[in-house]
Amino acid sequence: MNADENARRVAAHCVQRVVDEGGYSNLVLSHALASSPLDARDRAFVTALVYRTLTWLAVIDDELDQRLSRGLESLPRSVRAHLRVAMAQLRTMQSSPPRATINECVEAIKDDSGGGLSRVANGVLRSAQRDGAPPPPWPGAQLALPPTLHKRIVTHIGEDRCAVLMDLANEGLPTHLRQRRPGELPEGVSPHPHVPGAFVLEAGVPVTDASWAVQDAGSQMVGLCVPAADRVLDCCAGTGGKTLHLVDRPDVKSVVASDVSAKKLTALRRATALAESATPVHNWRDGCPDALCAGFDAVLVDAPCSGYGTIGRHPEARWRRSDEQVRDLATVQGDILAAAASAVRPGGILVYAVCTFTTEETDAVCDAFNTIRNDFSPAQAVPGSLIEMPGGRLRVWGDEMESETFFIARWKRAET
């Protein structure tokens, strides 16, 4: 087995884990590559294969379903994964020789599932190569978007800008860094043009220095919207990306991190330990002690959301949510925001953030909050924050900063 063939098999395994087992592409890839003997070139090839396949997943599946007499779902999971990766190469990676792509896919399926299915795969892939790509099966398919998500984006920013946004997301966003400690810039690292304290890493340049953290510029913007404070509560901390940003800020004296996911909090504790931080961590499922119920100078609600703004880094997110799920998430977001508001001291700041753009999860949540808490008013500018927010809200699309798309809102609680 040559290196390219082995890389394709690793990629197919990752795709199967994400598509059929609900895994997250970044975590699945990280785990697979950590235990793989592949060199740097082949690791990059695996990553490209996985991300291209997941980006175009539903479009690829539609074509395969049309070409298989019994449909794609009639095949075993591993066979589907191999075919998906091969089709992604044929349709979106012109640098891959079609003959090698087909032969290596067929051999992998033969090894995994026998000669009968390998012959089916051979016929499907060779006909796909011969016929060329079919017309887009639905509006937005040419941009690797499901119909409903395409309609949502176009409604906000129009067809032309939607195409620009998706070209950027589908080709992969640049890696952004946050400088944890002052020092000289290493080679291949340059300041981000729009976000104070953020940096852009040149493709292919490794950074292993602990004084740097990988964090999207949009995510860093959220941390910058939190003002200088003695006590900050990060009440949806997840695995701790924004928590650590706040911890590293010299103008934030203490941070409490909380969440409802024990698995994420375990990862957060590990991250804070590596960062040599004694950040208190709390699981909301254990109740709400008095110390977490009031008195914070600032509270950050980085709420669970549809994740549509992250599809440049998590391509599978575009295919996973229905409109009903978006509405359900908006209800949860509103409940979390209302509960978190009680932890803000009089005169303190409340920050709400989501890595998405849908009206239900952004403006509608904020408007509903305004109707039930008249002791909070929009905060355009606050002391100790570098970010001004006209009307107390900020929506940034990925094409503006070559980042994830995100939404932030900020309020100040009345002094009495």
Indicate the SS3 state at residue 63.
helix
Q: What is the DSSP code (8-state) at residue 193?
A: S
Going by C-alpha positions, the residue among 366, 371, 376 that lies closest to residue 341 is 376
Tell me, what's the pLDDT at 137?
A: 96
Burial 104-143, CB ≥16 within 10 A → b, else e: bbbbbbbebbeeebbebbbebbeebbeeeeeeeeeebbeb
Rounded percentage of the chain residues whose pLDDT exceeds 90: 76
Output the CA angle 349-351-354, nearest 5 degrees. 180
Give the separation between CA 112 and CA 100, rounded to whole angstroms: 18
Tell me, what's the pLDDT at 132?
A: 94
Average pLDDT, integer, range 228-257: 93
Band the pLDDT of 282: cuts 50, 70, 90: confident
The H-assigned helical ranges of 177-322 are 217-224, 241-248, 262-274
Tell me, what's the pLDDT at 66?
A: 96
Tell me, what's the pLDDT at 389?
A: 83
Tell me, what's the pLDDT at 1?
A: 52
Between residues 240 and 302, which one has the greater pLDDT? 302
Tell me, what's the pLDDT at 318?
A: 97
Tell me, what's the pLDDT at 185?
A: 86
Terminal Cα-to-Cα distance of the chain (whole angstroms): 72
Tell me, what's the pLDDT at 3?
A: 56
Tell me, what's the pLDDT at 189?
A: 92
Amino acid at 25: S
Tell me, what's the pLDDT at 277?
A: 76
Indicate the SS3 state at residue 94.
coil
Average pLDDT, integer, range 126-154: 97
Residues with Cβ within 8 Å of 196's Cβ and at least 6 positions away in sequence, in order, are: 224, 386
Tell me, what's the pLDDT at 107?
A: 94
Count of Cβ atoms closer than 10 Å to residue 91 Cβ: 18
Q: Classify the C-alpha dihedral 113-117-119-123 as positive or negative.
A: negative
Q: What is the pLDDT of residues 359-399, one digit of tens each?
A: 999 999 999 999 999 999 999 877 666 677 888 999 999 99
279: its two tokens:
């950040």
Q: What is the pLDDT of residues 162-182, one digit of tens each?
A: 999 999 999 989 999 999 888
Is 169:398 a contact under the CB 8 Å cutoff?
A: yes
Tell me, what's the pLDDT at 353?
A: 97
Sketch out the chain's domains with CATH numbers. 3-131 (1.10.940.10), 141-171 (no CATH), 215-413 (3.40.50.150)
Give the separation between CA 349 and CA 300, rounded to whole angstroms: 9
Tell me, what's the pLDDT at 4?
A: 60
